[in-house]
Amino acid sequence: MEGFMYPNEVELQWSVLIVLYPFLTGLVAGAFILASLERIFRVEALKPTYRLALLTALAFLVVAPMPLQLHLGHPERSLEMYLTPHRSSAMAMFGFVYLWYLMAVLLMEIWLDYRKDIVILSRTATGLKRLFYKALALGSTNTSPTSLYVDDRVGWVITLIGIPSAFMLHGYVGFIFGSVKANPWWSTPLMPVVFLFSAMVSGIALVMLMYQLTSGLRERAVDMQCLDTIAKYLFYTFIIDFTLEMLDLIHRIYEADESFRSLDFMVHTKLFLSQIVLQIFLGTVAPLALLAVTQLVHLSINTRKRIYIVAGVCTLIGIFAMRWNVVIGGQLFSKSFLGYTTYKMGFVTREGLGPAIGLMILPFVILYVLIKLLPPWYKKLPAPDSAAD
């Protein structure tokens, strides 16, 4: 500890797992919004990534509560958040936003879009898998054009509802921090908006990378029109995100309230690597510059693909760094504005780096399983029977 801190402030309360959690939910919101661009706004070029984006969102959404459970002092009591939610608590209300988004939006949308394939697979698969598909189809075997049309319309409505739901999903996480008046690093009305746009940036970058990765593994050509469109949306969203973060920064520097000197010192010393180097330069300026080049200059396909990979990876590092700077940074300085502490991150502890890495890898494992069970690529499946059973 340096300087003075209130005695109970020296130990950090929210660990790297709480950094991971907004990162994961942000990827969900971003991937979903990319998918909805195709469905609602008819951006046809994005069709090849529609299903991949939805499965990615699901894989990450399922893992998202796990860092929270590991963090809770009494995870066995976590059901209380659903039994006696305190309506004034953003954290409590978020439990329902999460539940709504998972059940009524994401799972429903995936189910409706895949239903025809699920029914076909329930006939063609064998053994345990067949049982799985039958259950997933809820015993229905109807693939008539009318039923598919109904699915499409209902799915459209769900996607439409899903967009504000995705905004709520991650905007709420921003509000959980932004509404804490005790912490001037967190307390700003911009927080939900910054979180949301950085979420969109991270989600789009992830889908962009996953598309290139899966295409590479399947030895299939990448649809460049699709990839270029994703990169374009990433670029535009990034500009908005960057603008918002710069607005917050400039506002703080200009107003220079009682917290400013303490926070400024913190950013230049304790957060120098994570904020200035990783979040701003490597994570924002570099990808923006790279993407700007691809938008302004005509480059070959391979060059563009390589730039997108570099930009995508830098973006994900930058957005993770942003979550780190918010969560950890918000706890490194004293609320007396007279001192600082350090974050001692364990490795093989319940809330250490080890579990965090594990929880970062787990969504990809789940995604792999999802892709195997519900292939996003249309060519794999035989044509459906025209007669409904």
Partner 1 sequence: MNLSRRQLLYLLPAAAAAWEFVLAGTPEAAPTYHSAEHWWGMLLDVTKCIGCGGCVRACALENDVPDGYFRTWVERYHVDDFHIESPVVDSPGGAKEGFPQSTLTGGKNFFVPKFCNHCVDSPCTQVCPVGATFHTADGVVLVDQNYCVGCRYCIQACPYGCRYFHPTKNVADKCTLCYHRIVKGLTTACCESCPTGARQLADLKDPKDPIHTFLKTHSVQVLKPHLATGAKNFYNGLDGSVR
Partner 2 sequence: MVPLKDISHLLRMAAVFLVGLILFVVLRGAFLPKSFGKYGHYRGDALAEITARPIAYAGHQTCESCHPDVADSKAHGAHVQVNCESCHGPLAKHADDPTNLRPEKPDITHLCVRCHSENIAKPQGFPQVDAKEHSGGQLCDTCHHPHSPHFSEGAKK
Is residue 283 within 8 Å of residue 315, measured between CB atoms? yes
Burial class of residue 247 in the structure, from the number of CB atoms within 10 Å of its CB (0-12 exposed, 13-18 middle, 19+ buried): middle
Rank residues 92 and 286 by Cβ distance to partner 1 and give the closer one.
92
Residues that bind partner 2 (CB under 8 A): 79, 82-84, 86, 103, 108, 111, 115, 137-140, 142, 144, 146-147, 150, 154, 388
Rank residues 95 and 203 by Cβ distance to partner 1 and give the closer one.
95
Minimum CB distance to partner 1, residue 261 (Å): 9
Among 27, 81, 169, 314, binds partner 1 (CB under 8 A): 81
Residue 9 found at the interface with partner 1 (CB under 8 A): yes
Stretch that binds partner 1, among 21-29, 58-66, 177-185, 292-300 (CB under 8 A): 177-185
Minimum CB distance to partner 1, residue 87 (Å): 10
Residue 255 found at the interface with partner 1 (CB under 8 A): no
Residue 78 found at the interface with partner 1 (CB under 8 A): yes
Q: Which of 363, 240, 224, 237 is nearest to 307 (CA)?
A: 224
Binding mask 324-343 for partner 1 (x = CB under 8 A): -------x--xxxxx-----
* Distance in angstroms (rounded) separating the CA atoms of residues 283 and 260: 24
- Under the phi-then-psi rule, with left for phi > 0, alpha for psi from -120 to 50, and beta for the rest, what region is 183? beta
- Give the CA distances from residue 101 to residues 172, 204, 250, 370, in Å, rounded to whole numbers and listed in that order: 12, 19, 35, 18
Rank residues 138 and 296 by Cβ distance to partner 2 and give the closer one.
138
* Distance in angstroms (rounded) separating the CA atoms of residues 326 and 343: 13
Burial class of residue 127 in the structure, from the number of CB atoms within 10 Å of its CB (0-12 exposed, 13-18 middle, 19+ buried): exposed
Minimum CB distance to partner 2, residue 151 (Å): 8
Q: Which of 27, 55, 54, 378 is nearest to 223 (CA)?
A: 378
* Distance in angstroms (rounded) separating the CA atoms of residues 375 and 357: 27
Region 91-150 residues binding partner 1, contact defined as CB under 8 A: 91-92, 95
Count of chain residues binding partner 1 (CB under 8 A):
41
Element (H, E) at 283: none
Residue 65 found at the interface with partner 1 (CB under 8 A): no
115 binds, among partner 2, partner 1, none (CB under 5 to 8 A by kind): partner 2
**Residue 242: Cβ within 10 Å count:** 18
Minimum CB distance to partner 2, residue 84 (Å): 6
Rank residues 47 and 335 by Cβ distance to partner 1 and give the closer one.
335
29 binds, among partner 2, partner 1, none (CB under 5 to 8 A by kind): none
Angle 343-348-354 (CA atoms, 0-180°, nearest 5)?
A: 80
Rank residues 137 and 200 by Cβ distance to partner 2 and give the closer one.
137
Write out the residues near partner 1 by the rule CB under 8 A: 4-9, 11, 13-14, 68, 71-75, 77-78, 80-81, 84-86, 88-92, 95, 176, 179-183, 258, 331, 334-338
